[in-house]
Amino acid sequence: MIRLGLSNSSVFPKSIETCFRLAAEAGFDGVETMVSTDAVSRDAAQLEALATKYDIPVLSIHAPVLLVSQFVWGRDQAVKLRRTAELAADLGAETVVVHPPFRWQKGYAERFLDTVREIHHDTGITMAVENMFPWTVQGQPLKAYLPGTDPTEMDCDAICLDFSHAALSGQSALEMAKRAGPRLHHVHLCDGQGPDESGKMFDEHLLPGHGGQPVAETLEWLREGAWDGLVVAEVKTHRAKSEAERLGMLLETVEFAREHLGLASH
């Protein structure tokens, strides 16, 4: 059965504990934690204690692949991925989400696909490669990722589909899901628009149904195909003026997902 998770990035800048608490209150099945400069995100004992306190398991972990976490666990990107998988195994999580390498990480990029496959073989943890998007610098497109931004074109075994990233790439997430086929293992539930008229690009991570992506249609397609992966909400709630408003945004996201995935409400 499809399970619904909440990424702790959805409650940023609130704490990881806030994510666990709101996930329980909103009716999610679990959480996805992102390894970051926050020591709690790297501590299996503290994460397990939070999971027990709120009766909410860690379903997946996002590797520290953002620019802001480039020095977490050192500079060796392959080591960082392996440590993330080991953390996932310690917590009983089944998936690690990882971005393609940055172009300037040349050595790592050359071995990236072999590395994720080796880690999966060694740990049993699914390494889901997430779709990204092209960057624009001073109005010019920049190919920031190697082997590229679209994992459906890569020789990887598992894929994470992000709706906001698909929007910035000018792609339909539904068509991307169809191209991924049985390799689609993980979904980051959100929404987004393409670049604006000035060419500026914003990774919006809107609530599902608030952007231009075929989010409902994609979830319904997954349901019709008896898909059984993880759907993790990765939405921005930082503009919420109160805790009640933030919870309302998450409740709307859960209700949207359950409706279009055909899942019963808690």
- Structure confidence by residue, pLDDT tens digits, 221-236: 999 999 999 999 999 9
Q: In sequence order, which residues have a C-beta less than 8 Å from that of residue 150 and are 6 or more positions away?
A: 131, 169, 171, 176
To which residue do tokens 């993790």 refer? 232
Residue 222 CA, distance from chain mean position: 17
Neighbours of 77 (CB within 10 A): 23
Does position 192 have pLDDT exceeding 90, yes or no? yes
Helix (H, G, I), strand (E, B) or coil at 49: helix
Does position 82 have pLDDT exceeding 80, yes or no? yes
Give the model's pLDDT for residue 199.
55
Burial code of 37-56, b = ≥16 C-beta within 10 A, e = fewer? eeebbbeeeebeebbeebeb
Cα distance between residue 213 and residue 171, in whole Å: 9
Residue 168 CA, distance from chain mean position: 15
Give the model's pLDDT for residue 71.
83
Across all residues in the chain, what is the average pLDDT? 94
- The values of phi and psi at residue 172, to 5°, are -90, 125
239 contacts 207 by C-beta, under 8 angstroms: no
The structure's pTM equals 0.95
> Both ends of the chain: CA-CA distance in Å?
14
Q: How confident is the model at residue 201 (pLDDT cuts 50, 70, 90)?
A: low
Q: In sequence order, which residues have a C-beta less than 8 Å from that of residue 250 and are 6 or more positions away?
A: 6, 10, 22, 23, 26, 28, 233, 235, 237
Give the model's pLDDT for residue 244.
97
Give the CA distances from residue 4 to residues 43, 76, 143, 171, 266, in Å, rounded to whole numbers and listed in that order: 23, 32, 32, 24, 11
191 contacts 204 by C-beta, under 8 angstroms: yes
Does position 184 have pLDDT exceeding 90, yes or no? yes
Give the model's pLDDT for residue 1.
87
Question: Looking at residues 92-101, what average pLDDT do you find?
Answer: 97
Give the model's pLDDT for residue 140.
66
Does position 196 have pLDDT exceeding 70, yes or no? no
Q: How confident is the model at residue 182 (pLDDT cuts 50, 70, 90)?
A: very high
DSSP string, 217-233: HHHHHHHHTT---EEEE
To which residue do tokens 């972990």 refer? 61
Which pLDDT tens digit goes with each residue over 34-64?
999 999 999 999 999 999 999 999 999 999 9
Give the CA distances from residue 97 to residues 94, 158, 255, in Å, rounded to whole numbers and listed in that order: 10, 9, 24
Does position 139 have pLDDT exceeding 90, yes or no? no
